[in-house]
Amino acid sequence: MHIVVLTKPVPDPAAAAERMGPDHRLDRAASPAVINGNDEYALEAALKLMESMGGEVTLLTMAPAGATDVMRKALAMGATRGVLVSDPVLAGSCARSTMQVIAAALRDLTFDLVFAGADTSDGRGGVVPAGIAALLRLPYLSNAAKIEPDAATGRVRVRRITPTGYDVLEAPMPALVCCTQVLGEPRYPSLRGIMGARSKEIATRSLADLGLDATSVGGSVASTVVLETRRAPARGATRMVRGSADEGAREIVDLLESRRLI
Amino acid sequence: MGALWVIGEPNADGSLARISAEVATLARSVAAASGLSAAGIVVAADPAGPAGELAAYLPRVLAVTDPDAAGNAWAVVAAERAAAIIGEDPHALVILGAGQDGRDVAGSLSALTSLGILVNATAVDWLDGRPTVEMSAFGGKFVTTSTFTGGGGIVTVQPNTVVAEAATKPGSVETAAPGAEPTLPHVAVLDNVVEAGAAAPIEEARIIVSGGRGVGGPAGFAMVQELATELGGAVGASRAAVDSGWIPYAQQIGQTGKIVKPELYVALGISGAIQHKVGMQTARTIVAVNRDPDAPIAEFADLVVVGDLFEVVPALLLALRARAG
């Protein structure tokens, strides 16, 4: 099973140090970068399939050149190799550009499955994977809680979470699957994994390498633009109540009444 | 001048998703501000029901009958039919929900048209001849206002952005031709499993009562559920509670779960770490019950009752019931 996992370096949500630049773009130097949390679930699912069925796991990342550091951690978890698409032109790319660039990079790779995380903690749009699938005419299976590829039939079966339960989806491979946390907790890299990751290959691809015209994608032709960024209005002061359970309950009822919530 | 489209999402039971009624209500206000004419698109094997419901909110709804919408993953089928109607209009503004189906349609539609996407809108307005879209970034730390550089685009809208309100006069439902043969692969749905006790979508709830590690187990969640029922709300959870298997993932709020914006959020035994905070800190009113007065949730809740939730919640239930008489 050859699986490509789409991974994105994001500002570490736990650091909560995000800062916006004057151009309304995220100041990526202000925060420590980590692999997007939802991408780790996708990677874990891919690694388990590689271990049980054989094959390879390739990371595909579109990010500034420094992203190789973050990619090493994913390689330490067990991915076989990485491909980093990096080009100064891509700074400020919109979701549509991102789809086009990643789709172009996937055209150069051989795979049975592409895994993506449900969304990224910086953008939270969750729209890019469906766009990539449509551009490449790949079957698209989202909200996956279980992924069962069958090498013999060349088909993949996915349990897709729905508002009322789940659907069982099936499609021929190659296909693109959008993963959820339900697939299982990501592993920690072992010491051996960390040592081994140092010598694993990370191939860097520019737009020219992908055969893309620098005037067709990237920040200068972004389909969306941020006009204004402001700090969210601060929440009001917190009222702390220490006392008996009845006093606490009464305070809650009073607040809900005053705000017409009951 | 482009058109303003609302993609209506049908529920599995053939009704219209609540988010679509909200999006249509929002679209009417954008239409009023812009002079664009708003119309809905409903793609289903049998679109009459949801299209009829959507017409309560919009002057015109196009119903596309596509037998493939049943028995296949809906979003890709719907996106291709909608793309055929929207055409190559670079000024088209398309609005839909930010749930999983909405995201799937938005991504596919962007690939099929030349339209960009703005996500998780908390407001859509019209200013200087173009749409402006407000969204909350980095868990509510920032608010951004964005627009499309090409005039039109696709906007996914957060639930509870507006209250759904029917138009004074219901609109018409027209049958639309399905368009050309689809080119995107359809994904077969082999089985549709309804799980017992599946809750209403947590993102749509006006009131959410959430439990965390402090709830202690499934028995504690029965109490969370009891309070949610008493308040007419839904049950949410932190990741710790989901990881412990006390409640399904669909109910998880936070970084790797749902983003919610209810009128009232009651956090029971939830510390309010950043991973949870990013999913709920834009709630209108936040009430927490926690043993630890130094828990991070005390930094952004409106009211923190410091105490044992197994004493405070029963007292609260009594007080609410006494009040209701």
List CB contacts (< 8 A) between B307 and chain A. 242-243, 245, 248
On the question of pLDDT at B197 being above 80, the answer is no
A70 vs A67: CA distance, rounded Å: 5
How confident is the model at residue B196, as a pLDDT? 66
Give the nearest partner residue to B111 out of A135, A169, A223, using CB atoms.
Answer: A135
Question: How confident is the prediction for chain A on average, in pLDDT?
Answer: 95
Whether A228 maps to a domain, the answer reads no
- Position B92 pLDDT exceeds 80: yes
pLDDT over threshold 70, residue B6: yes
Minimum distance, in Å, between the CA of residue B169 and any CA atom of chain A: 30
DSSP B168-237: SS--EEEEE---SPP-SPP-EEEEEEEPTTPPPPGGG-SEEEEE-GGG-SHHHHHHHHHHHHHHT-EEEE
| CA-based nearest residue in chain B for residue A103 | B111
Say how far apart CA B248 and CA B245 lie, in whole Å: 7
Say if residue B291 is in the same domain as residue B225: yes
Cα of A190 to nearest chain B Cα, Å: 23
Residues B28 and B157 in one domain: yes
Residue B189 in domain:
no
Question: Tokens for A179?
Answer: 């993963």
A109–B contact, CB cutoff 8 A: no
- Chain A hits for B302, CB-CB cut-off 8 Å, are 235-236, 238-239, 255
Q: Percent of chain A at pLDDT above 70?
A: 100
**Across residues B35-45, what is the average pLDDT?**
97
Is there a domain that residue B185 lies in? Answer: no
Asked if A134 and B188 come within 8 Å (Cβ–Cβ), the reply is: no
B159 found inside a domain: yes
For the cut 90, the answer to whether the pLDDT of residue A41 exceeds it is yes
Q: Given this model, what pLDDT does residue A55 score?
A: 98
Domain count, chain B: 2
- For the cut 80, the answer to whether the pLDDT of residue B1 exceeds it is no
B260 and B111 within one domain? no
Give me the residue from B137, B185, B281 closest to A137, CB to CB. Answer: B185
User: What pLDDT score was predicted for residue B125?
Assistant: 97
Contacts of B75 in chain A (CB under 8 A): 130, 140, 142
pLDDT at B298 exceeding the cut of 60:
yes
Helices H / strands E in chain B, number of each: 8, 15
- The residue range of the domain holding A95 is 2-221
Cβ of A94 and B116 within 8 Å? yes
The pLDDT-based confidence of B198 (bands split at 50, 70, 90) is low
User: Which residues from chain B sit within 8 angstroms of residue A162, using beta carbons?
Assistant: 12, 192
Query: What is the C-alpha to C-alpha distance for residues B93 and B5, in angstroms, rounded to an integer?
Result: 6
What distance in Å separates residue B47's CA from the closest CA in chain A?
20
At A60, the pLDDT band (50, 70, 90 cuts) reads very high
pTM: 0.94
Q: Judge if B149 and B226 occupy the same domain.
A: no
Please calculate the CA angle B212-B218-A244 and round it to the nearest 5 degrees: 60
Residue of A134, A162, A168 with shortest CB distance to B190: A168
Q: How many folded domains does chain A comprise?
A: 1
Q: Are residues B209 and B60 in the same domain?
A: no
- Whether residue B196 is contained in a domain is answered as no
CATH assignment at residue B13: 3.40.50.620
**Domain membership flag for residue B120:** yes
pLDDT category of residue B286 using cuts at 50, 70 and 90: very high
* Structure-token match 């994608």, residue found: A217
Does a structural domain hold residue A262?
A: no
Summarised one tens digit per residue, pLDDT across range A70-90 is 999 999 999 999 999 999 999
Two tokens, residue A2: 């050859």
Asked whether B20 and B8 are in contact (CB, 8 A), the reply is yes
- Domain hosting B97: range is 4-176
- Report the pLDDT value the prediction gives residue B120, as an integer from 0 to 100: 96
Q: Give residue for tokens 């509670």.
A: B241
pLDDT digits (tens, 9 = 90+) for A187-220: 999 999 999 999 999 999 999 999 999 999 999 9
Q: Which residue of B has its CA nearest to A99?
A: B111
- Tens of pLDDT, residue by residue over B131-166, are 999 999 887 889 999 999 999 999 999 999 999 999
Least confident piece of the model among A2-6, B99-103, B197-201, B263-267? B197-201
Sheet harboring B303-306: ordered strands across?
A239-242, B303-306, B285-290, B264-268, B207-211, B234-237
β-strands B207-211, B264-268 pairing: parallel
Nearest in space to A161 (alpha carbons), one of A180, A187, A188 = A180
* Contact residues, chain B, for A169 at CB < 8 Å: 73, 187-190
Q: How far apart are CA A35 and CA A10, in angstroms?
A: 6
The CA distances from residue B96 to A155, A165, B35, B107, in Å, are 31, 22, 19, 11
In which band, very low, low, confident or very high, does the pLDDT at A21 lie, cut at 50, 70 and 90?
confident
Whether the per-residue pLDDT at B287 is higher than 80: the answer is yes
- Which positions 1-40 of A are in contact with B (Cβ < 8 Å)? 11, 13-14, 16, 18, 20, 24, 37-38
The contacts of residue B181 (CB under 8 Å, 6+ apart) are none
Question: Would residue B183 count as lying in a domain?
Answer: no
How does pLDDT run across A228-240, given as a tens digit for each residue?
Answer: 999 988 888 999 9
Q: Which of A121, A122, A169 sits opposite B187 (nearest CB)?
A: A169
